[in-house]
């Protein structure tokens, strides 16, 4: 899933794009206020770090537990996609207890017998092909680092094809050939997610805009 920072940066880019198409002063002011708000939120975010572990336990046939790892952090360089998984005490295990199986578009991680539990993580449909031979894992203090070697040295926007399709679907809801329609979609989103002051500001801008155009449309009612 996308991080909070990624979501805020994506929202900020949308606001900047729509500012280019804003012709009404009030609408421009609302968008500028939202731009400043997003910039401050991004500025005040803590540095990127690993997410807190959230894991699901499943009873295994052998009577122990297999824990599905649902939390991770990731980064990339020109040559590698790096996935960080936090597991307390993992460095105390024998190296053979931490296994990763790679294919060209997936990997499976299995950690055996850590505090009487097994831990697993599976990534299918990676965004781009990886080199099985060039990929590996490293065990650090309370952490496993999975290194997926890129077949081509190009930037990944996300980890999996599913994430990419989800982002494209969300973008499509705001990507329209009519700039006015795209602006209206964003204003509706800002109205729905904003506080009372933001809603009053947007409603006022809407009413003033309609009055100037001589139309009788009602204010936003979302």
Give me the pLDDT at residue 42, please. Answer: 77
The model's pLDDT over 122-134, given as tens digits with 9 standing for 90+, comes to 999 999 999 999 9
CA 43 to chain centre: 17
Q: Please enumerate in sequence order all residues whose Cβ is within 8 A of that of 112, keeping only pairs 6 or more positions apart, or say none.
A: 93, 97, 98, 99, 118
Asked if residue 115 belongs to a domain, the reply is yes
Do 170 and 102 have their domain in common?
no
> What range does the domain containing 120 cover?
66-150
Asked if residue 50 belongs to a domain, the reply is no
Are 219 and 209 spatial neighbours (Cβ–Cβ below 8 Å)? no
Asked if residue 221 belongs to a domain, the reply is no
Q: Which CATH number goes with the domain that contains 21?
A: 4.10.860
Asked if residue 113 belongs to a domain, the reply is yes
The model's pLDDT over 22-57, given as tens digits with 9 standing for 90+, comes to 777 777 778 888 887 778 777 777 765 554 444 445
Asked if residue 49 belongs to a domain, the reply is no
Predicted model pTM? 0.52
Per residue of the chain (222 residues), give pLDDT as tens: 456 778 878 888 887 878 777 777 777 778 888 887 778 777 777 765 554 444 445 544 443 688 999 889 999 999 999 999 999 999 999 999 999 999 999 999 999 999 889 999 999 999 999 999 999 999 999 999 999 999 999 999 999 988 888 877 776 655 555 555 656 667 777 777 777 777 777 777 777 766 766 655 545 554
Q: Which CATH number goes with the domain that contains 93?
A: 2.60.40.790
Domains of the chain: total: 3
Do 118 and 94 have their domain in common?
yes
């Amino acid at each position: 899933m996308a991080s909070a920072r990624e979501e805020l940066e994506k929202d900020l880019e949308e606001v900047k794009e729509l500012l280019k198409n804003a012709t009404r002063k009030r609408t421009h002011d609302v968008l500028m206020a939202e731009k400043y708000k997003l910039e401050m939120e991004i500025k005040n975010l803590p540095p990127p770090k690993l997410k807190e572990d959230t894991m699901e336990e499943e009873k295994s046939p052998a009577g122990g537990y297999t824990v599905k790892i649902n939390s991770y952090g990731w980064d990339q360089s020109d040559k590698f996609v790096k996935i960080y998984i936090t597991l307390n005490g993992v460095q105390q295990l024998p190296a053979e207890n931490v296994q990763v199986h790679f294919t060209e578009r997936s990997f499976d991680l299995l950690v055996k017998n850590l505090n009487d539990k097994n831990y697993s993580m599976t990534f299918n449909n990676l965004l781009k092909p990886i080199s099985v031979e060039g990929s590996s894992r490293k065990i650090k203090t309370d952490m496993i680092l999975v290194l997926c070697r890129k077949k081509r040295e190009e930037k990944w926007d996300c980890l999996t094809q599913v994430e990419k399709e989800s982002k494209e679907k969300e973008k499509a809801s705001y990507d329209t050939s009519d700039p006015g329609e795209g602006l209206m979609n964003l204003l509706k989103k800002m109205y729905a997610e904003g506080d009372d002051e933001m809603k009053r500001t947007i409603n006022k801008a809407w009413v003033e805009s309609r009055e100037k155009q001589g139309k009788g449309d009602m204010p936003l009612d979302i």
